[in-house]
Amino acid sequence: MTQKNCYILGIESSCDDTAAAVINNGEILSNVVATQAIHEQYGGVVPELASRAHQQNIVPVVHQALQKANIDKNQLSAIAFTRGPGLMGSLLVGTSFSKSLALGLGIPLIDVNHMQAHILAHFIKAEGQNAPNFPFLAMTISGGHTQIVKVTDYFEMEIIGQTIDDAVGEAFDKSAKILGLPYPGGPLVDKYAQKGNPKAFKFPKPKVNPMDFSFSGLKTSVLYFVEKEVAQNPDFISENIEDICASLQFTIVDYLMDKLKNAVKKTGIKEIAIGGGVSANSGIRNALKEAETKYGWKTHIPKFEFCTDNAAMIAIVGELKYKTQNFAENNVVASARMKF
């Protein structure tokens, strides 16, 4: 099979987004995501509800991805799916579906690590995206993970720094919840932050190892700060939401940049790529662009649709593995704590 007529279906179901995408020769032909609104009212993802919603969504989402790509399922060369890490109930839906479809169509099955996919999304051919050169540093910042990874080849990755408690997306979401914002709060904090003064309030930056992260203290300091201010002025949050969000975002972004600077110093690698939902954040995107002139870094920021959970990133990993016939056995199982 030549690369030209190799069509790979990617399926993602690790958390609360059911997604399917078709890739052909590095280009994404369709990228469909069904986001689950049900979790908003609970202020966070409810695993049991997520897995039930995946069951409802997966057939229509895959159908739509094939339709948009204008191909029939019999033209597919392989099926790539997220094996982990993620919520077990959610992963099981995508895994079982993918196994059955691959078996039914008689085509190979390819298992994908979700965190590697966030990094390898940079190799999707799309306008405005330039693939990084090896070796590069990847900072994966999402609702479930915060890592700095040294990438020496497509599948040669070493975690050189990570969070010791909450993920950065959780820091955004939990702080947003304290401010009365709905889940997921990250994008809303970003929206308000763009109109506020980042120096209005000061939040502490937790001290841990130079390339590791800690976010649980930040959330607590936001809570104490808000409680203290609201005791004096019940309208404090609504009157200052833009400045609070700007100050919070400034602290988080500055902290992420400190860690990247430490990693660059330690490894000597100045090519940086970011991935994961929080890489949609305007603050980190701007800070990285600035770092190009300020520190001489070469930075790679994914397109918005490849930042938050999506299946295009699963499909590109599928294609990379397909080239070396790196297939999964049909008895492969989902892995909630899958490592690189």
Q: Which residues bind ligand KG4 (CB under 6 A)?
A: 15, 142-144, 169, 172-173, 184-187, 190, 276-278, 280-281, 308-309
Q: Is 130 left (phi over 0), alpha (psi -120 to 50) or beta?
A: beta
CB of 170 to Zn ion, least distance (A): 12
Q: Using CB under 5 A, pick the residue from 166, 170, 309, 319 that binds Zn ion.
A: 309
Number of residues counted as binding Zn ion (CB under 5 A): 2
User: b/e for 55-89, b at 16 or more Cβ within 10 A?
Assistant: bebbeebbeebbeebebeeebbbbbbbbbbbbbbb
CB of 335 to ligand KG4, least distance (A): 15
Q: Which tokens sit at 67?
A: 């339709």
Q: Give whichever of 65 and 314 is closer to Zn ion, judged by the CB atom.
A: 314
- Rounded-to-integer distance, Cα 315 and Cα 322, Å: 10
Among ligand KG4, Zn ion, none, partner that 281 touches (CB below 5 to 8 angstroms by kind): ligand KG4
Look up tokens 């790529």; give the residue: 273
**For residue 198, what are the CA distances in angstroms to 193, 245, 299?**
8, 8, 24
Among ligand KG4, Zn ion, none, partner that 279 touches (CB below 5 to 8 angstroms by kind): none
CB of 309 to Zn ion, least distance (A): 4
- Confirm or reject binding of residue 281 to Zn ion (CB under 5 A): no
Q: Is the separation of the CB atoms in 249 and 192 below 8 Å?
A: no
Q: Is the separation of the CB atoms in 32 and 68 below 8 Å?
A: yes
Which range, of 137-145, 206-214, 248-256, 317-325, touches Zn ion by CB under 5 A? 137-145
Among Zn ion, ligand KG4, none, partner that 184 touches (CB below 5 to 8 angstroms by kind): ligand KG4
> Which stretches of the chain are assigned E, i.e. beta strand?
7-12, 17-24, 27-35, 78-84, 109-113, 136-141, 146-153, 156-162, 271-275, 298-300
Q: Which helix (H) or strand (E) holds 62?
A: helix 47-69
Q: Give whichever of 111 and 309 is closer to Zn ion, judged by the CB atom.
A: 309
CB of 113 to Zn ion, least distance (A): 11
**For residue 225, what are the CA distances in angstroms to 61, 219, 313?**
43, 10, 39
Q: Give whichever of 166 and 309 is closer to Zn ion, judged by the CB atom.
A: 309
CB of 59 to ligand KG4, least distance (A): 22
Q: Give whichever of 92 and 178 is closer to Zn ion, judged by the CB atom.
A: 92
- Confirm or reject binding of residue 142 to Zn ion (CB under 5 A): yes
User: Residues interacting with Zn ion, by CB under 5 A?
Assistant: 142, 309
